[in-house]
Chain A
Amino acid sequence: MLDLIDPRADHAETLSVEEAWAMEIQTQAQITRFKGAMWIAVAVLLLFNSAALVTVVNGFGVGPVQDTIVVMADTWNTQMEKQGLSEPVRVIREGVLYLHDLDWSDVGLGDAPDQGAHNLRGSASDGSEG
């Protein structure tokens, strides 16, 4: 993938004035494009992940500025929750928790979560030894 990154600029002396100018125009356009993309990404995170913002600002020390930031983050998070924007995090986390808590019987492989070693070994022991 790294071969996509154009190494021509390392040999700028071989570029014509037009090529160098085109390179500069492209650079300006991409700076603007990625700056815009970053701010949109920040907005998405502020909207959907406001609880994480509260967690971060709660780690700040005590002081008038910090306290104001904490209150603002709390208010913002409450508003986002009211608008239902914290729902996607909850749904994703519930899905992950469901997968996390599956045991082997849930996926049709064995009767109990602690039988793996015995199945592999083919032992008739009850699994309580050792």
Chain B
Amino acid sequence: MLFPTLTFGIFFLIVFTVSWSMHWTPEPRKWFLVGASYFFYAWWDWRFTTLLFGTTLINYLGGLALDRAKRDATRKWIVGFVVVVDLGVLAFFKYYDFFLTSLDGVMRTLGLARDLPFMEVILPIGISFFTFQGISYVVDVYRGHVRAERSLLDVMLFKSFFPQLVAGPIVRAADFIPQLQAPVQLTRDHVSVGVVLILTGLAKKMVIANYLATEIVDPVFFDPSVVSALDLLIGIYAYAIQIYCDFSGYSDIAIGVAALLGYRFLANFDQPYRAASLQDFWRRWHISLSTWLRDYLYIPLGGNRGGEAQRYRNLFITMFLGGLWHGAAWTFIIWGSFHGAMLGLEQWLKRKLESVAPVSADAPGLLTRLGNGAQHVVGVVSTFHIVCFAWIFFRADSFSTAMDYLIGFGDWSSANAYVTPFVVGLVAVGLLFQFTPRQMGRELAINLRELPAPVLGLLLGLGIFVIWSVAPEGVAPFIYFQF
């Protein structure tokens, strides 16, 4: 059940009406939301609802066991066991075939070919997201950041709540569970923020992302060896905008839908292509994943503690595993490793520059300010291009396709076929919105706050109507559903 479909529209209409009619009785309302979320998940494949419930139960029992255990060694053993089970489930569904294919390749190269037990394992949608949510819950209980939840119902709703179930944002127990235990409320702000986010999310996904996918990105990545260098160049800019509009559009709709049901999620994107460094980019891109990786991987690995070499190693491992999280393919591993290596290089260069030209505590003069401005522009442009370079590996279906893409930049003699004013215009609009004032959406939401129901309804209806009319035919799945 995709967000921008009539099916989801009907589903949401029912969920909104029924859940708010039950808001006097919190427990039945939560049961209803859990039921709706499992129904939403079952729409893809009902068999995996047992997997969702099974992993939720393990996390819930793990939390309770951690609460009861007094000895540190026992607590360590419990948290380790639950994390291994969570990761084991993820590894089986997501990486089993990839591991065996890679092993088969190595064994054939060594002349030791064997019949390996290949199984065509179906990837349950959203498994990477709800696994990470489950891990964060037990680790937070272990660390004492949240109390073990006594109510299985609250843990079930925390893990399965349908707006974020299949593609995030990765919600933390500390942010969400207290909301489940408080009286639920719907304010003018919930409504206006929800409407603004749903409309902007739909526009990003249905118009910009879908057009860019069909008009240039899919054709140039299908066989990069037969298209011109200009097509490849604009193609990768277009993919940068497509994946942003696709994923941030999904996040916007998810956050907006949650707001209309009375819950608050944290932001998942913050104009990432205006970042002036890779470190800044990762503070703005898929924030719920990058903060998850920081808190549950980078810091446990040692984080910034220890020497410089250890810090770079930790960064590299974190990004390498972040790449692997996205998918079972070497292209994702290369993407993550590249980001890890470049983050390390960036930090090293920054330290060297600071040692050569320390930052002055005095108020900067005009020349310094101009220099800082120019440095910022260079930082934004270079960061964007480094990120785009890495996107080639992320989008390519194989390493050889990515190499064909890169080799294609060497030949500027052939005629371009996909770079049209329409495509360039969409890319320009997508980039322009990276540099608009941060408070634009907020101001828009404030202006909607006092609108009477008929005007708000007209705005919502006409907004969806215009987006629907402008968008290309059909609804493509969201990119992050595959992860």
**Which listed residue, A2, A109, A113, touches B255 by the CB 8 Å rule?**
A2
B446 in the interface (beta carbon within 8 A): yes
- Asked if A71 is at the interface (CB within 8 A of a chain B CB), the reply is no
Residues of A within 8 A of B183 (CB): 9, 12, 20, 23-24
Question: Any chain A CB within 8 A of the CB of B441?
Answer: yes
Instruction: Report whether A41 and B460 are in contact in the complex, using a CB–CB cutoff of 8 Å.
Output: yes
A58 within 8 A of B: no
Query: For residue A107, which residue of chain B has the nearest CB?
Result: B421
Cα–Cα distance between A26 and B23 once the two chains are bound (Å): 13
Chain B residues with CB under 8 A of A11: 182
B414 contacts partner chain A, Cβ-Cβ < 8 Å: yes
- Measured CA separation A22–B343 after assembly (Å): 50
Is the Cβ of A37 less than 8 Å from the Cβ of B415? Answer: no
B418 to chain A, nearest CB (A): 10
Is A27's CB under 8 angstroms from B185's CB?
yes
For residue B216, CB closer than 8 A to chain A, the reply is no
Known contacts A43-B461, A44-B465; decide if A116 and B419 are in contact (CB<8 Å).
yes
Q: Hey, what's the 0/1 contact readout for B256-284 against A, CB within 8 Å counting as 1?
A: 00011010111100000000000000000
List the B side residues contacting A120 at CB < 8 Å: 230, 412
B468 at the interface (CB under 8 A from A): yes
Are A4 and B446 in touch, CB under 8 angstroms? yes
Q: Which of B53-61, B375-383, B449-457 contacts A (4 or more CB under 8 A)?
A: B449-457
Asked if B193 and A37 sit within 8 Å, CB to CB, the answer is: no
Bound: A123/B266 CA distance, A? 51
B17 interface residue, CB < 8 Å from A? yes
B414 in contact with A129 (CB, 8 Å):
yes
1/0 contact string of A5-41 vs chain B (CB within 8 Å): 1110111100000001001101100111111111111
Residues of B151-194 at the interface with A, using a CB-CB cut-off of 8 Å, are 178-179, 182-193
- Whether A45 pairs with B188 at a CB distance below 8 angstroms is no
Which of B264, B411, B446: most chain A CB closer than 10 A? B264
B309 within 8 A of A: no
B33: interface (CB < 8 Å)? no
In the complex, are the beta carbons of B425 and A45 less than 8 A apart? no
Q: Are A40 and B193 in contact (CB under 8 A)?
A: no
Give a binary string over A119-130; 1 marks a CB under 8 Å from any B CB, 0 the rest. 011010101111
Q: A33-B453, A36-B453, A93-B469 are in contact. Are A125 and B413 (CB under 8 A)?
A: yes
The interface residues of chain B lying within 8 Å CB-to-CB of A127 are: 415
The answer to whether the Cβ of A56 comes within 8 Å of any Cβ in the partner chain is yes
Interface hub of A3, A10, A106 (most chain B Cβ within 10 A): A10
Q: In whole Å, how far is A17's beta carbon from the nearest beta carbon of chain B?
A: 12
B330 to chain A, nearest CB (A): 30
- What's the least CB distance linking B157 to chain A, in Å? 15
Q: Quote the shortest CB–CB distance from A35 to chain B (angstroms).
A: 7
B351 in contact (CB, < 8 A): no
Whether a CB of chain B sits under 8 angstroms from the CB of A89 is yes
- A103 — which chain B residues lie within 8 A by C-beta? 420-421
**Contact present for A130 and B411 (CB under 8 Å):** yes
Name the residue of chain A whose CB is nearest to the CB of B21: A31
Q: List the A side residues contacting B185 at CB < 8 Å.
A: 6, 9, 23-24, 26-27
Nearest-neighbour CB distance to chain B for A30, whole angstroms, equals 4
Contact A30 B190 (CB under 8 A): yes
Given A34-B16, A44-B465, A92-B469, check contact A102 B420 (CB 8 Å). yes
- Chain B: CB-nearest residue to A40: B457
User: What are some 18 contacts across the A-B interface (CB < 8 A)?
Assistant: A2-B266, A6-B189, A9-B179, A9-B183, A9-B185, A11-B182, A12-B182, A32-B453, A33-B452, A34-B260, A36-B457, A37-B454, A38-B13, A40-B461, A53-B6, A113-B420, A121-B413, A123-B412
4 smallest beta-carbon distances between A and B, as pairs: A40-B457, A44-B461, A130-B414, A41-B461
